[in-house]
Amino acid sequence: AYNGRNVTGMKADFLSEKMRDGVQLFLDALLHPRFDKQELERERHNILEALRREEDQLASLAFKQFQQRLFPKHPYGMSLLGTAANVKRFKVGDVKRAFEDNLDPRNLVISAVGDFDWETMAGLLRPALESIRGRRRGFKPPKVDPAPTAIQTVERTKDKFQAHLVLGFRGVSYADKDRYALDVLNNILAGQGGRLFIELRDKMSLAYSVTSLSQEGVEPGYFGVYIATEPRKVATAIEGILRELKKVTEELVAPEELERAQQYMVGAYEIDLQRNSTVATQLAFNEIYGIDRREWLILPEKILRVTREDVLKVARKILKLDRYILSVVKP
């Protein structure tokens, strides 16, 4: 089982010859889970320990307060771990009610990929799934908070030796047609061969670690840059980040940068598709997000169709250098 900012789900892998047993086990876990008090206490302990460890992970803290400021009233601004106060308060009945309220056939998608007969699979799934009766009276996602209209800085002091910064902007949703160009831009900036690494780490010795990332969602997510640096270099690091971001809003990226990013992205994606579990996940998520069901097949084509002009256009759309969130955790 797993959960994220947009989806809660389950997945299972089993041999084709064990399909009937595997599907029955999957359905039993989905429809008849045990809500054991001892298991709840074990998970409560694990989550509280994770929350305590988070206080010592300065990068996580920087991202956490960045998201809280960018999405102050939306679930995207909340920690997936929850709060210690809520975790301590949960009882078995609370967890069971939450599960039953969210197991709604109107929001349920099951995908299956592999060597099997579809009619046989459907025959196993359909009777069990038709028994589900949703308890929700419809679900309306909360409205996303307005995008920043000015530069906002949020700081936290920790007794550590490094400073961790996240500088970011409101991003795009999964369904946004600009997602592909933004992902290409992110690849041009991120990684060991990216502009941020070369300029800020290799040339200027400003970073222990530096990268960019694009976090899409059902609703618009964020685009941000993360850097770990020496406390005395914080101001210079911020200047360096803004300088590199400004460049991609003013000039076309080099043809070789575009090609390198596209080839890397397509290659990594095609390697991922060698696993049936990846394809199954793609199919399920695309259905939930309202994306073309063929997306998993045509994604490489869409990436390769991105032009230098597309990258410049999306950089100017997203990277508003007079309205961003800056999150800083430092000594």
Whether 214 and 97 map to the same domain: the answer is no
pLDDT at 138: 56
Can you read off the two tokens belonging to residue 285? 């998520």
Contact 296, 283 (CB under 8 A): yes
Instruction: Name the domain count of the chain.
Output: 2
Residue 141 lies in a domain: no
Q: Scanning the structure block, which residue is given the tokens 């575009």?
A: 258
Among 129, 164, 185, the domain-final residue is 129
Residue 15 lies in a domain: yes
Contact 210, 201 (CB under 8 A): yes
Whether 106 and 230 map to the same domain: the answer is no
Residues in the chain: 331
pLDDT at 136: 61
Residue 145 lies in a domain: no
Among 68, 96, 129, the domain-final residue is 129
pLDDT at 102: 80
pLDDT at 276: 92
Q: Scanning the structure block, which residue is given the tokens 């599907």?
A: 23
Among 79, 97, 129, the domain-final residue is 129
Whether 11 and 106 map to the same domain: the answer is yes
Q: Scanning the structure block, which residue is given the tokens 């970073």?
A: 207
Residue 134 lies in a domain: no
Whether 228 and 119 map to the same domain: the answer is no
**Burial degree of 306 (CB within 10 A; 0-12, 13-18, 19+):** buried
Whether 216 and 313 map to the same domain: the answer is yes
CB atoms within 10 A of CB 11: 12
Q: Which residues of 61-97 are buried (b: 16+ CB within 10 A; e: fewer)?
A: bbbbbbbbbbbeebebbeeebeeeeebeeeeeeeeee
Residue 143 lies in a domain: no
C-alpha closest to that of 254 among 305, 307, 212: 307
CATH code at position 121: 3.30.830.10
Contact 165, 327 (CB under 8 A): yes
Whether 116 and 211 map to the same domain: the answer is no
Whether 124 and 158 map to the same domain: the answer is no
Whether 106 and 159 map to the same domain: the answer is no
C-alpha closest to that of 33 among 4, 8, 50: 8
Whether 165 and 122 map to the same domain: the answer is no
Q: Which domain holds residue 74?
A: 2-129
Q: pLDDT truncated to tens, each residue of the chain (331 aa)?
A: 888 888 889 999 999 999 999 999 999 999 999 899 999 999 999 999 999 998 889 999 999 999 999 999 999 999 999 999 999 999 999 999 888 888 888 788 999 999 999 999 999 999 998 888 766 655 677 888 999 999 999 999 998 899 999 999 999 999 999 999 999 999 999 978 899 999 999 999 999 999 999 999 899 999 999 999 999 999 999 999 999 999 999 999 999 999 999 999 999 999 999 999 999 999 999 998 888 888 989 999 999 999 999 999 999 999 999 999 999 999 9
Contact 188, 311 (CB under 8 A): yes
Give me the phi and psi of 128, to 5 degrees please: -70, -45
pLDDT at 139: 62
Residue 138 lies in a domain: no
CB atoms within 10 A of CB 238: 19
Gap between the Cα atoms of 29 and 32, Å rounded: 6
Contact 41, 32 (CB under 8 A): no
Whether 158 and 116 map to the same domain: the answer is no
Residue 158 lies in a domain: yes
Can you read off the two tokens belonging to residue 124? 């196993």
Residue 84 lies in a domain: yes
pLDDT at 134: 65
Whether 180 and 320 map to the same domain: the answer is yes
Gap between the Cα atoms of 284 and 42, Å rounded: 30
Whether 159 and 123 map to the same domain: the answer is no
